[in-house]
């Protein structure tokens, strides 16, 4: 906790507050988290203690160091109930996508009524979409399930809650970057058009799925690759 605090700043605390974080935080930079990650081995007992602290930065780091064998659906659900910010939701969803429970947990969360958990389910979809060779035993997602996701995105994206809408938008881009579902995703993206997401105080711009899918595929084609063979298809445990 002292090291996390040392990696923080008043400016980042202020930024976190502007972005809607209402719990305790040190404002730890990602550079400091990465440096600490190099020194700390995966340790579930430590991760649980960090999560129990209630501190945002400690909980982010808990997602980075929990042992893969300890990641269960019960643990993910327990942590999800404590997650009220999109920033922490992104970290927990990325950890979930790394685990063997990814697709099952995504299906569960996508049915949730609260914006953060439902949005987390769609983050997982977007991450898994660019990993076509990942088996069901490894938590992978099938083309058939992605086509079902496309139907839901088309039907609900414009009326979804803000965070869910944003993550559905990203999931649509991810599905479009899997070669076997790209054609179907491009057709949906054309019908969906631009998605209006309230970014609040953030400087982020909402990506247009149709443009982003085409641009990403073209980027990898220049290298003689597909998105699954590049950075987009990496299996990573934190964002």
Q: What is the mean pLDDT of residues 118-144?
A: 97
What separation, in Å, do the N-terminal and C-terminal C-alpha atoms of the chain show? 21
Q: Are 173 and 212 in contact (CB under 8 A)?
A: yes
Model confidence at 20, pLDDT cuts 50, 70, 90, reads: confident
Neighbours of 205 (CB within 10 A): 8
Using alpha carbons only, give the angle 21, 152, 190 rounded to the nearest 5 degrees: 95
Q: What is the mean pLDDT of residues 166-170?
A: 97
Average pLDDT for the chain: 95
Q: What is the mean pLDDT of residues 140-153?
A: 98
Q: Are 162 and 198 in contact (CB under 8 A)?
A: yes
pLDDT on residue 30: 94
Q: Is the pLDDT of residue 121 over 80?
A: yes
Q: For residues 151, 156, 162 and 166, what is the CA-based torsion angle, rounded to 10 degrees?
A: 20
Domain ranges within the chain, ordered by starting residue: 102-239
The whole-angstrom separation of Cα 180 and Cα 194 is 23
Q: What is the mean pLDDT of residues 31-41?
A: 96
């Amino acid at each position: 906790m002292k090291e996390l605090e040392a990696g923080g700043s008043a400016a980042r605390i202020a930024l976190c507050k502007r972005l809607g974080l209402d719990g305790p935080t040190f404002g730890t930079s990602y550079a400091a988290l990465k440096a600490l990650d190099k020194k700390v081995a995966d340790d579930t007992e430590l991760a649980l203690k960090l999560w129990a602290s209630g501190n945002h930065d400690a909980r982010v780091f808990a997602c980075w160091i929990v042992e893969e064998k300890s990641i269960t659906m019960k643990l993910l659900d327990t942590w999800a109930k404590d997650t009220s910010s999109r920033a922490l939701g992104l970290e927990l969803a990325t950890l979930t996508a790394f685990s063997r429970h990814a697709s099952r947990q995504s299906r569960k969360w996508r049915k949730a009524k609260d914006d953060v958990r439902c949005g987390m389910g769609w983050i997982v979809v977007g991450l898994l979409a660019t990993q076509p060779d990942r088996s069901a035993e490894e938590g992978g997602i099938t083309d058939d399930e992605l086509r079902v996701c496309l139907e839901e995105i088309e039907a609900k994206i414009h009326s979804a809650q803000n965070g869910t809408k944003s993550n559905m938008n990203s999931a649509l881009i991810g599905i479009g970057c899997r070669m076997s579902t790209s054609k179907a995703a491009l057709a949906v993206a054309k019908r969906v058009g631009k998605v209006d997401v309230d970014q609040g105080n953030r400087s982020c711009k909402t990506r247009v799925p149709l443009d982003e899918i085409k641009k990403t595929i073209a980027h990898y084609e220049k290298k003689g690759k597909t998105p699954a063979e590049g950075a987009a298809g990496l299996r990573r445990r934190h964002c």
